[in-house]
Structures are given as structure tokens and as C-alpha cells.
Amino acid sequence: MILAEKRIYEVVFIIDPDAPDEETKRLTENLQTIVTDQGGTITKSEVMGRRQLAYQIGRKNEGVYVLFEIEGTGREIAELERRMRVSDQVIRYLTVRVDEERRRAEKLKARRARKAAKRPFAAAAAGGGRGAATNVAGGGEENEA
């Protein structure tokens, strides 16, 4: 069997705000174990707290937001989404694959850094700008004021 490439996903889900805190904690721990049992790793887990919903969902105006950052093949995402779909406590969920966007952002960042290094006055601007310009304009002599 060929090992599939590891990908990075962000999963945000909203839990019913009427659920007690210990129930919310138990649910997030269960979902984390589902991911790890399927072979994925959770690189970030954050309970963002109770927030206002953009629109009413099932007579609820707010919910408890939770964010997981998962590294895996995608098989664990399918199982996680299946479990969230059948859970009564999870109001909504959204999964986004973010590894390609991050790779693209890193390339753009590196390209901007290369272009900034090629600019002729990049060193002068970084060094304070004005003092370097007066030295050049003064013919290399020290200007006394």
C-alpha cells in the first residue's frame, strides 16, 4: 500500500451552547481521539468560546466555536465529518484544506523578500535612510552643522 501524502486541514465546528462545559470538553476529546485513531495528528486544538452566530440555526443565536488543525491523509477527515454529522451537539462544521494556500503564501513571501533585497536603496532605507543620503550627497565628507 502506498502511503498518501500528508495534508493539513482546518476543521471548525460549532457546538450547541446549551450543552454543559464538561459535555463540550468530552465531545472535543472524543473527536480528537477519532482523528488520532485514524492515523492523523492534531497540531492545534483551540476552543474559541461562545460567540454570536451569523444567522439563526435551529432556534440558536450563539454557539461554542472549536478549531482543530489536523495533519493527515484525508481518511480521518471523512470519519470525523461522519461523526460530527450524526452528533446532536454539533450544529455546524466546516473543513478546509490549507496546505496548498500556505505553500503559495510562503512562495509569495520569499519572492517579496528577494525583490526587496534587489532594490538599490533597500540598504539605505533599512539603515536609517537620511544619514546615508547626506553622506553620499556631501561627496563623502562629514557635514558639520
The segments of the chain whose pLDDT lies below 70 read 1-4, 121-145
Query: What pLDDT, on the 0 to 100 scale, is given for residue 122?
Result: 52
Q: How far is 133 from 136, CA to CA, in rounded Å? A: 5
Are 9 and 67 within 8 A, CB to CB?
no
Percent of the chain with pLDDT over 90: 56
Query: What pLDDT, on the 0 to 100 scale, is given for residue 103?
Result: 85
Per-residue pLDDT of 26-59, as tens digits, reads 999 999 999 999 999 999 999 999 999 999 998 9
The whole-chain average pLDDT of the chain stands at: 83
Query: What pLDDT, on the 0 to 100 scale, is given for residue 52?
Result: 94
CATH architecture observed for domain 7-101 = 2-Layer Sandwich (3.30)
Q: How far is 79 from 72, CA to CA, in rounded Å? A: 12
Q: Break the chain into its structural domains and give their ranges.
A: 7-101
CB atoms < 10 A from the CB of 63, how many?
22
